[in-house]
Amino acid sequence: MFSKSFWDQLGISLSGLCAIHCLFFPVAIALLPLWPVAESVHFWTHPLLFLLIVPTVIFALRHSNLPQRIPVLLYSGLVVVALAWIFHEWLGLWGESLVTMAGSALLVTGHWFNYKFHQMTHKAGCEV
């Protein structure tokens, strides 16, 4: 139904969106006089993005012959993003943003390597 690279492209996009949210939200809080609205948007952004990221990682990892670093990067990124969401009260706004950015970086890197792996194997399959 969807190509294998679709899930990596979607994963990179979602992780990038997550990173942009984490970079933009602290600045937006300082600038927005509508704090209660901003807080409710921020509250729902993390669960929504996490629920979109989980299936993206699962579908991106369907290939069985992946180099070991790809699943490690993707699952590590997923765990780090989950920890940022779970411990957001303890981490504070900036800590949560930094931890989420680290998780997003792991996810983007894992999806990028996976995307390149699928391109390489598809090329090799076409030439044989």
| DSSP-derived secondary structure for 88-128 | HHHHHHHHHHHHHHHHHHHHHHHHHHHHHHHHHHHHHHHH-
Domain count, the chain: 1
Task: Provide the CA 22 distance to its chain's centre, in angstroms.
Answer: 12
Residue 89 CA to residue 48 CA, distance in Å, equals 18
Tokens at 34, concatenated? 């509508």
Task: Choose among 52, 55, 71: nearest CA to 109.
Answer: 71
How confident is the model at residue 127, as a pLDDT? 46
How confident is the model at residue 29, as a pLDDT? 60
* Domain that residue 24 falls in: 4-127
Q: Are 57 and 107 in contact (CB under 8 A)?
A: yes
How confident is the model at residue 74, as a pLDDT? 93
Q: Are 73 and 6 in contact (CB under 8 A)?
A: no
Split the chain (128 residues) into runs of 10 and give each run's mean pLDDT.
Answer: 72 78 66 62 75 87 84 94 87 83 90 88 62
